[in-house]
Amino acid sequence: MYFLGVDGGGTKTTAVLIDAAGQLVRQIDEGPGNAAVLDRGTMARLIHSIFRQLQESLSLDEITWATFGFAGGGRPQEKRNLKEIISGIGLKNFTLMNDAEIHYYSVFGDDCGIMLSAGTGSICLVRNADGNLQQIGGVGYLLGDEGSGFDIGRQAISRSVQAAYDGLPISPLAQKLLSFYGLLDRRDLISIIYASKNPQRLIASSAKLVSELAASGDEEALKIVENAVESLMMHLEKAMALTRAEDTCRIAFTGGLLKGENVVSNLLQKSLDELGCNYQLARQEFAPAVAAAFFGFSASGNKAPADVVQRLKNI
């Protein structure tokens, strides 16, 4: 038996094939997998590419269950498109969800908790004591993505461009942006963004340098990061209001922007402490794509033994 897990976000897509013993058989890395941003043809090429590589070593019939978590993949229209593409390949046993649900499962499984994810985009999921999973945010960069890498990058670029038109001296942040994108004039930031086929990814790519500059004490960069943290805190406060007040909230930070110790995650924890929140930080148990594959065990009616679960956690 083989289980396929696919985690597709705004920046990259990772697919893993796991055997029944919990061993990694194959990993495939592809480009962006945001079903709400990419057209049907691009998503079809992405999915077909994954299966072409898989079929170099096994047939579709050998895949017991496949779980796909694509950004934007939980909405009705995108879900229909994805289901038709995957069914057209010939795969019969599979589950479709958005990437945030996969990230939630990678931390909490079916348990209660709050997951805040901030990468290229942002979203918050909360499961209360009644077992209901509710989404906060996650409506994409044109309508939301508050506090995301896109949000941070957009603020930084917008401020730098406006300063150029106002005739203001170039700031350390703007200078870093020009160096990062290989430009000489702040106004050229406009040109590369509107000429890009994936402006969301291009803009979000600068979030790391803004965060690093904020950590070093740059006031302009720090203001941008603080704005982002304020937006993320609004998601968390809404999520906590949906849980029982007497319970300790288990909160997990996921996504590239909140990975490890950094200025964004540190400021978030500081804000939670100042709010007097009764919370406990939860760790991610599985890599998201591995969590998707693990979901396939239960979806197909196969309970994974403890030793298999441990191997999956180590991938």
Q: d(Cα 92, Cα 58) in Å, to the nearest integer?
A: 15
CATH of domain 111-284: 3.30.420.40
pLDDT per residue as tens digits for the range 107-163:
998 888 999 999 888 999 998 777 788 899 888 788 878 999 999 999 999 999 999
Q: Could you tell me the pLDDT band of residue 181, with boundaries at 50, 70 and 90? A: very high
Residue 191 has pLDDT above 60, yes or no: yes
pLDDT value of position 138:
81
pLDDT value of position 260:
78
CATH topology of domain 2-105+286-313: Nucleotidyltransferase; domain 5 (3.30.420)
Average confidence (pLDDT) over 160-179: 96
**Which residues in the chain are classed under CATH 3.30.420.40?**
2-105+286-313, 111-284
pLDDT value of position 37:
79
Q: What are 97's strand-pairing partners?
A: 69
pLDDT value of position 246:
60
Q: Which two tokens stand for residue 163?
A: 């300063």
Instruction: Tell me which residue of 162, 255, 173 sits closest to 206, measured CA to CA.
Output: 173
Q: How many CA atoms lie within 13 A of 259 on its CB side?
A: 10
Using CB atoms within 10 Å of the CB of residue 119, give its burial: 0 to 12 exposed, 13 to 18 middle, 19+ buried.
buried
33 to 43, 99, 286, 300: CA distances (angstroms): 7, 9, 20, 25
pTM of the model: 0.80
Q: Which of 136-145, 179-188, 240-249, 287-296 has the lowest average pLDDT?
A: 240-249
pLDDT over 90, % of the chain:
55
Average confidence (pLDDT) over 252-267: 88
CA 276 to chain CA mean position, Å: 28
pLDDT value of position 229:
95
Average confidence (pLDDT) over 238-265: 83
